[in-house]
Amino acid sequence: MPALRQIVLSLLAATLLSTTLFAQTPAVERPLVTLDQALAGVRWQGRVPSQATIGDKTPIVLVYATWCPKCNVWTPELFAQLAESIKDQPVILFAVNADETVRGVDYALQRKLVGPNIFHGDDPNIVARMGFQSELFNYSIFQDGQQTNRKQAGGYYNLENGQKEFALSRQIKTGLEGKFSFLTDKTSDALKQVLWPLELGSNLDERSLLAMRKKMDEPLANEFNSAISDFLDGQVKEIADSRKGTVPQQIKGYEMAEAIATNFKSTPQGRACRGLLDKLEEDKAFQEELTAKKLYDQAMQKGTTPVTLRRMMGRASSRFPEAYYGKEAQKVIDSVQ
């Protein structure tokens, strides 16, 4: 018996020591990543929107696994709340299964995590890329394409009626700043089905719009025409406002004007954008800014070594030393060792 007691005490001491060491060892905090980096390598079920086509909507990446019995008890409620909370919200949810050996997309689909702005994929490596501590129901919200936080999706609030509200669902409903390009609070359910693909980056020009209208009855077509007109008016206003902004804002407005002038030539908005482009083509200072940005972007994309980056940035800084992107290029040169 004394020998057995000594063995038990030794095991307890070892357990306490290992627990203490584990508690005192801080988790390694990985750098935050961009949305494109986070989703690189995911095997998607169907096509998904890119960062470039998401627009001003807020991306959320949810990572989950199917192997945890305790989690499987509450995930149907979590998924149901998520599907309801992002319904008609300017949010894009990328739900990625991280099981090592099982493709688990069906797990989420069976639990009704479905909607026009919900996309499913598999990738066990996404856990490490996003800096999560495990694959068990973690998520990140992205702003301007950049990961802003890492949170556990199982956290919830107890409600007065005895039910619980998951923190992610509450945050989606009350704490995000995304916005739609086409949908409004007054958009009918029938038109929402038509406009969601456009919100997710489907081709938008006069020809495609004509093809879409042919399939609509008159009331829906009238509502559709009004929605597109409101969208174009909003784009024109944003372009006009950009002329008073920073150089990057002005260039973004210029690119928007190019798209509308090309894709909506016969509309009043398209003609207005063409008039603005004609004026800007005669603006020597603005044309220099455009060229400087082009050289800057090329350097950022192709300057894979410090030597190459400095050399390519030098083209922008030496040719356009007073331009915004000429100065930005010089900052990069000064920062590169």
> Which of 9-13, 19-23, 199-203, 281-285 is predicted least confidently?
19-23
Check residue 2 and give its pLDDT: 47
Q: Enter the pTM of the model.
A: 0.79
Backbone conformation region of residue 38, classed left if phi is above 0, alpha if psi is from -120 to 50, else beta = alpha
Structure-block tokens of residue 84: 């309801």
Check residue 29 and give its pLDDT: 64
- Burial (CB count <10 Å: 0-12, 13-18, 19+), residue 135: buried
Check residue 25 and give its pLDDT: 37
Check residue 13 and give its pLDDT: 40
Half-sphere exposure for 81 (CA within 13 Å, toward CB): 21
For the chain, give the mean pLDDT: 89
Check residue 51 and give its pLDDT: 82
209-268 pLDDT, tens per residue? 999 999 999 999 999 999 999 999 999 999 999 999 999 999 999 999 999 999 999 999
Structure-block tokens of residue 198: 């456009």
DSSP run (H or E) holding 173 = helix 167-174
- Closest by alpha carbon to 251, among 287, 299, 296? 287
73-124 pLDDT, tens per residue? 999 999 999 999 999 899 999 999 999 877 788 999 999 999 999 999 999 9
Looking at the predicted structure, is the pLDDT value of residue 272 above 80? yes
β-partners of residue 60 are: 93, 141
Q: Long-range contacts made by residues 159-167, C-beta under 8 angstroms, separation at least 24? A: 164/77, 165/81, 166/77, 166/78, 166/81, 166/82
